[in-house]
Every structure is written in C-alpha cells, then in structure tokens.
C-alpha cells in the first residue's frame, strides 16, 4: 500500500511539473503567436511556428526536469515530434473551429485550442515519449 501511495504522489508530482513547464511553453507560444499575427502573419502559420517554439522548450524541460529521462535517443526525439505533431493538429483544428466556426475572438480561440491539446500531449509524453 505504501508503494502505491508513493507511486501516486510521484505521478501527481510529474503532472504538476508538466503543468508548470506547460505554462512556460504556453507563454512562449502565446507571445510568439501574437507577435507574428500582429506582424500580419495569418493565424494558422503563426500557430505552427509558435507551437513549434513552445514544443522545443517543452522537450528540453520535460526531458530533464519533469520525467528525468536520461540520454538522448533518436527514437525519443521521433516519438516527441510525433506526439507534438498530433497535438499541433488538434490545436490547429480547435483554433480554426473556435475562431471561424464558433466566432470566438483570436485570444479566446487560442486559449481553447491550447487547453484542448493539453491532455493528448501529456498522455503522449508520459506514456510513450519519456516512459
């Protein structure tokens, strides 16, 4: 029972770290997104670039701090890229639906898209990338 409780606390700790890293990644993503859109870049290409910048930050911090994954492997980088491409796809679809179909402002749509992609990203990183 003690081991089960310790494991549960470890998983909660990982999730909290993941959320903290995610907040920083989101900051990177949002700042770059709005700089690009204000510079006249359409929102979908801006989303791809800004999300990619946040994802690079995510890889480094989650590898070293959240999941404490050792070493660097080509397979791990490919798995991370795959999870983030799926999450990016989810976020682009959500952004487009929320902005174009639902008529939300760009900031609200961006927030909704970010939250929508969070669960898939955490599960993919926890269960497949940094296992």
pLDDT tens profile 4-47 = 676 777 788 888 998 899 899 989 999 999 999 999 999 999 99
pLDDT given at position 90:
95
Pairwise CA distance, residues 72 & 92, whole Å: 29
Count Cβ atoms within 10 A of the Cβ of residue 4 and give its class: 0-12 exposed, 13-18 middle, 19 or more buried.
exposed
In the predicted model, what is the mean pLDDT of residues 67-96?
Answer: 90
Residue 77: both structure tokens together: 């980088």
pLDDT given at position 6:
67
> What is the average pLDDT score of the chain?
89
Residue 108 pLDDT class (50, 70, 90 cuts)? very high
Count Cβ atoms within 10 A of the Cβ of residue 121 and give its class: 0-12 exposed, 13-18 middle, 19 or more buried.
buried
Q: Which one of 6-15, 66-75, 92-101, 111-120 scores highest in mean pLDDT?
A: 92-101
Q: Is the pLDDT of residue 1 over 80?
A: no
Who has greater pLDDT, 95 or 73? 95
> Where are the chain's structural domains?
2-129
Q: Helix, strand or coil for residue 75?
A: helix
pLDDT given at position 62:
85
CA distance to 1, 37, 63, per residue, from 32 (Å): 46, 9, 23
92-102 residue pLDDT tens: 999 999 999 99
Pairwise CA distance, residues 91 & 3, whole Å: 37
pLDDT given at position 72:
76
């Amino acid at each position: 029972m003690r081991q089960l409780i310790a494991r549960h606390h470890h998983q909660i700790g990982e999730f909290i770290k993941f959320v903290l890293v995610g907040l920083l990644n989101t900051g990177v993503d949002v700042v770059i997104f709005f700089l690009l859109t204000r510079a006249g870049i359409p929102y979908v290409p801006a989303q791809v670039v800004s999300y990619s910048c946040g994802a690079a930050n995510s890889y480094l911090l989650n590898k070293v701090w959240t999941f404490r994954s050792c070493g660097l492997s080509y397979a791990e980088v490919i798995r991370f890229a795959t999870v983030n491409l799926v999450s990016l796809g989810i976020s682009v679809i959500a952004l487009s639906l929320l902005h174009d179909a639902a008529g939300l402002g760009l900031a609200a749509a961006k927030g909704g898209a970010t939250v929508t992609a969070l669960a898939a990203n955490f599960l993919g990183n926890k269960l497949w990338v940094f296992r």
